[in-house]
Amino acid sequence: MLNKIDYSKKQIIDMLSLKNSDELNDLYEKAYQIKLDNIGGLVYFRGIIELGNVCEKDCYYCGIRKSNNKVNRFVFDKETIIECAKWCYTQNYGSIVLQSGESKDKNYVNYITELLKEIKKIGNGELGITLSLGEQDEDTYKAWYNAGAHRYLLRVETTNNSLFRSLHPKSHSLEERIKCLDILGKLGYQVGTGVMIGFPGQTVEDLANDIIFFKEKDIDMIGMGPYVRHSDTPFGQYLDNSDEVKKERLELGLKMIAVARIVLQDVNIATSTALQALHPLGRERGLKAGANIIMPVITPKIHRKDYMLYEDKPCMEDDAEDSKINIIKMVENIGEKVVLGKWGDSKHFSIRKNIK
């Protein structure tokens, strides 16, 4: 592997602390070159289907938290989701992500299992499936893996326990979330996690510790993004949301992608819609900073507005077909290529598992 270096915490903090624009450009270029050396100038699609917004959790920053009674709750029926998955397959997306609020309800768990089995019948199982359905017990993760899911994204949001406490009610546990990541890895999933970047109280040292955590846990995929406020949440009500603060969060989000690429080298890293919420070219800039995954929103428009984890979420009115064309153009404009029809698995996972 090229450029494989073990970076110290101090080196990671130094990279994340850069402010000067020439130094920042050097950082992004270095990360980009590492992406080219390890993965190539290739971008993989994950069509994201936000299948429901019912959530048992009450995270203080999230627009669809249990206590937000302004939310119109929904769960799409099986037919609608299968239609979305078929559309992704015929459009050659290669992979989908099924995401929803967290529910351990047995009926919901079984519903997902049945859905997965149906989706695996599309094109003889050619569609790759990532799940992002929160903390579950081992039996549930196992049932979903056996039904056809092979990647799982579960963000820890922060690895600093006291910050985790500031973001969540007492009943939520960082330890539990990390335990879930371990179970997912043990079961054979490609494991993804990520953090929220630039929320009040978080320091550059915290973010450096997050990247060290990704490395120590041998994480395969990173899905992280800058904090974007939702004002109908306890966390979002009183926070500074000025353009200056948003600019800082965007820059920190890009630096985190770049430094994660430099330190972790061969993992999949998503360029998030939260970057785009802070800047119209946020997703392109994420790719140029080292990301290689993009997740076009496929959720039927009827409920997109009901899945607002944060405010100013982009792509609310995008037609899925136009969005595909626009993203391909955007990727080509920065000199990269969208790979259609492939799962785009994490190279780190393949190496870790000795898969050729």
Return residues touching ligand SF4 (CB under 6 A): 55, 57, 59, 62, 64-65, 101-102, 134, 309
Shortest spacing between CB 66 and ligand SF4, in angstroms: 7
Q: Closer CB to ligand SF4, residue 134 or residue 290?
A: 134
User: What is the DSSP code string of 98-143?
Assistant: EEE-----HHHHHHHHHHHHHHHHGGGGTSEEEEE-----HHHHHH
Q: How far is the CB of 61 from ligand SF4 (least distance, A)?
A: 7
User: β-strands 190-193, 42-45: how paired?
Assistant: unpaired
Contact 269, 255 (CB under 8 A): no
Provide Rg for the chain, Cα atoms.
Answer: 19
Residue placing its CB nearer to ligand SF4 in the complex, 128 or 134: 134
Neighbouring residues of 100: CB distance < 8 A, sequence distance ≥ 6 = 50, 51, 52, 53, 54, 55, 75, 132, 133
Give me the least distance between CB of 349 and ligand SF4, in Å please: 24
Q: Which is nearer to ligand SF4, 58 or 126 (CB)?
A: 58
DSSP 8-state symbol, 271: P
The minimum distance between CB 51 and ligand SF4, in angstroms, equals 12
Given the complex with ligand SF4, which of 130 and 265 has the nearer CB atom?
Answer: 130
Closer residue to ligand SF4 (CB): 134 or 185: 134
SS3 305: helix
Least Å distance, CB 247 to ligand SF4, is 24
